[in-house]
């Protein structure tokens, strides 16, 4: 084996039968499996978290296709590289098939000009595109390319998938089979759990543990829980504060507070903080939730959330985590009402789309005495002159009389 190549690279599958995981798209009855086997692949875009097998799947395709296979990385490649592939593909002497497969790793790194350069050749079938990205392609990739490709989402590998790959690595000669290693099944399982769906992390950890552990007197390298823990450090978190997981996590955080689940809210808060999220961004989301989802069912939630946001700004991390947790739990445990949120949206829609009429004369302002003779303020009833400081009178314009925006259901004042 080439010891200069990392274990994760050496363990990449060469055939579909060696590929582990992603059964939802690579099961033997699935379209992707059948098209790869039949070498009838059309353009695809693979997206999923790091270490889920995107590049490995491209390698499998490169080993099974009869077409010329090119691989470029969007981080270092440009339009010139695309043109070179096109020219070689269209050169009958170099490529009698007149068609090739182009694998572009990190395709979301290509700018619009670079992506546009691919379009005509993907459209006419000269290039079969395989794009790989950790970002949601619907946000990052040209819509025209998306419409001409099959978008396939790869999931994080399961613990069982990673455990199987680790066992393969320990057995295969091009893996770690040449080493005399002793490791308990439970220790391997812990390594699979720590990797959090990223097989590259698991294999790197296993390789580091093997290469940095001295052989014992019995002639074996003993990989214990402690050795594995020191080789991988801590559980890898699937969170990118600038990527899709940022939006997914904050969405789950808000929905957990809205759904009155404090445990889930604290969990997603912890994920965000562990991933390096800006505490003030989180605090602002709590304030919004307190207003939008708790509203008049507990107006004090907005006071608590706003106070927490101000305190987070003054104190900062790590203590800010306590303030954020307290505010998130308070909002999650509060009774809920979105009546104010619904009311303003309905009113804005009416103001934008309807002829809503004029402000009634009796509630108009009359700062100058002569205006009253024109009807301004005429007939206004001052509520404080009446019992309970209330009197029935018209406030909405004539054209809007009877319109209801605010539903008092859940209103804390109405309950009193």
Tens-place pLDDT, residues 116-154 = 888 889 888 889 999 999 888 888 888 888 888 889 998
Contacts of 190 (CB under 8 A, 6+ apart): 225, 228, 229
Task: State yes or no: pLDDT of 255 exceeds 60.
Answer: yes
Q: What pLDDT is attached to residue 415?
A: 56
Topology given in CATH for the domain delimited by 244-333: Zinc Finger, Delta Prime; domain 3 (1.20.272)
The mean pLDDT value for 7-35 works out to 88
Contacts of 29 (CB under 8 A, 6+ apart): none
Task: State yes or no: pLDDT of 233 exceeds 90.
Answer: no
Q: What pLDDT is attached to residue 413?
A: 66
Q: What pLDDT is attached to residue 240?
A: 56
CATH topology match: 159-232 vs 352-415 = no
Q: What pLDDT is attached to residue 183?
A: 92
Q: What is the mean pLDDT of the chain?
A: 87
Provide the CATH number for the domain formed by 22-153 in this structure: 3.40.50.300
Give the range among 106-120, 235-249, 275-289 with minimum mean pLDDT.
Answer: 235-249
CATH architecture of 352-415: Orthogonal Bundle (1.10)
Say how many CA atoms lie within 13 Å of 307 toward its Cβ. Answer: 12
Task: State yes or no: pLDDT of 273 exceeds 80.
Answer: yes
Task: State yes or no: pLDDT of 184 exceeds 80.
Answer: yes
Nearest CA-CA partner of 204 in 183, 239, 228: 228
Angle (nearest 5°) at CA 392 between 388 and 393: 135
For 40-51, give one letter per residue: b (16+ CB within 10 A) or e: ebebbbbbbbeb
Q: Which helix (H) or strand (E) holds 152?
A: strand 150-153
Q: What are phi and psi of 153, to 5 degrees?
A: -95, 120
Q: Do the Cβ atoms of 337 and 302 come closer than 8 Å?
A: no
Say how many CA atoms lie within 13 Å of 134 toward its Cβ. Answer: 17
Residue 198 pLDDT level (bands cut at 50, 70, 90): confident
Measured distance between the N- and C-terminal CA atoms of the chain, rounded to whole angstroms: 78
Spatial distance between the Cα atoms of 183 and 196, rounded to a whole number of angstroms: 20
Token pair recorded at residue 19: 């590929």
Which pTM does this prediction carry?
A: 0.62
Domain boundaries, the chain: 22-153, 159-232, 244-333, 352-415
Nearest CA-CA partner of 228 in 281, 191, 183, 186: 191
Q: What pLDDT is attached to residue 92?
A: 83
Percent of the chain with pLDDT over 90: 36
Residue 66's Cβ-count burial label (10 Å; 0-12, 13-18, 19+) is exposed
Task: State yes or no: pLDDT of 251 exceeds 50.
Answer: yes
Spatial distance between the Cα atoms of 340 and 291, rounded to a whole number of angstroms: 8
Mark out the alpha helices in 6-135 (DSSP H runs): 7-10, 23-26, 31-37, 54-64, 79-90, 112-123
Q: What pLDDT is attached to residue 2?
A: 52
Percent of the chain with pLDDT over 70: 94
Task: State yes or no: pLDDT of 1 exceeds 60.
Answer: no
63 to 22, 39, 339, 371: CA distances (angstroms)? 19, 11, 59, 88
Nearest CA-CA partner of 139 in 236, 292, 246: 246
Task: State yes or no: pLDDT of 373 exceeds 80.
Answer: no
Contacts of 3 (CB under 8 A, 6+ apart): none
Spatial distance between the Cα atoms of 229 and 292, rounded to a whole number of angstroms: 44
Contacts of 255 (CB under 8 A, 6+ apart): none
Token pair recorded at residue 333: 């445990």
Give pLDDT tens digits for 331-372: 999 999 999 999 999 999 999 998 888 888 888 887 776 677
Task: State yes or no: pLDDT of 318 exceeds 80.
Answer: yes
Helix (H, G, I), strand (E, B) or coil at 10: helix
Spatial distance between the Cα atoms of 312 and 284, rounded to a whole number of angstroms: 10
Token pair recorded at residue 347: 């009113």
Give me the count of residues in the chain.
416
The mean pLDDT value for 20-41 works out to 87
Task: State yes or no: pLDDT of 245 exceeds 80.
Answer: no
The mean pLDDT value for 38-50 works out to 88
- Asked if CATH classification 3.40.50.920 holds for the domain at 159-232, the reply, yes or no, is no
């Amino acid at each position: 084996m080439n010891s200069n190549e990392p274990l994760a690279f050496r363990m990449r599958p060469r055939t579909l039968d060696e590929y582990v995981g992603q059964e939802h798209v690579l099961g033997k009855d699935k379209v992707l499996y059948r098209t790869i086997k039949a070498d009838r692949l059309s353009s695809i875009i693979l997206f999923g978290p790091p270490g889920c097998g995107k590049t490995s799947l491209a390698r499998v395709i490169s080993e099974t296709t009869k077409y010329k296979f090119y691989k470029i990385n969007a981080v270092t490649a440009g339009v010139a590289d695309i043109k070179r592939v096109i020219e070689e593909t269209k050169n009958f002497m170099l490529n009698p098939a007149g068609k090739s497969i182009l694998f572009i790793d990190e395709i979301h790194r290509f700018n619009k000009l670079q992506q546009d350069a691919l379009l005509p050749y993907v459209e006419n079938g000269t290039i079969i595109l395989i794009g790989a990205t950790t970002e949601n392609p619907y946000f990052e990739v040209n819509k025209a390319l998306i419409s001409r490709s099959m978008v396939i989402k790869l999931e994080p590998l399961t613990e069982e998938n990673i455990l199987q790959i680790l066992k393969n690595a320990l057995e295969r000669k091009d893996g770690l089979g040449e080493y005399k290693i002793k490791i308990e099944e439970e220790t391997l399982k812990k390594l699979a759990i720590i990797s959090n769906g990223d097989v590259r992390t698991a294999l790197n950890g296993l390789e580091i543990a093997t290469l940095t552990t001295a052989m014992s007197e019995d002639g074996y390298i003993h990989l214990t829980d402690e050795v594995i823990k020191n080789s991988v450090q801590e559980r890898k978190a699937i969170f990118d504060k600038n990527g899709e997981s940022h939006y997914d996590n904050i969405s789950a955080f808000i929905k957990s507070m809205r759904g009155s689940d404090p445990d889930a809210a604290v969990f997603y808060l912890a994920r965000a903080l562990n991933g390096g999220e800006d505490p003030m961004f989180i605090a602002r989301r709590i304030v919004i939730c307190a207003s939008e989802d708790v509203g008049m069912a507990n107006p004090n939630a907005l006071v608590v959330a706003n106070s927490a946001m101000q305190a987070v700004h003054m104190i900062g991390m790590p203590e800010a985590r306590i303030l954020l947790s307290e505010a998130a739990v308070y909002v999650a445990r509060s009774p809920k009402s979105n009546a104010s949120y619904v009311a303003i949206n309905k009113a804005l829609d009416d103001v934008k789309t309807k002829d809503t009429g004029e402000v009634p004369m009796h509630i108009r302002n009359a700062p100058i005495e002569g205006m009253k003779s024109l009807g301004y303020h005429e007939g206004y009833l001052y509520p404080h002159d009446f019992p309970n400081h209330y009197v029935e009178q018209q406030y909405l314009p004539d054209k809007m009389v009877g319109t209801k925006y605010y539903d008092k259901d859940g209103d804390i004042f109405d309950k009193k």
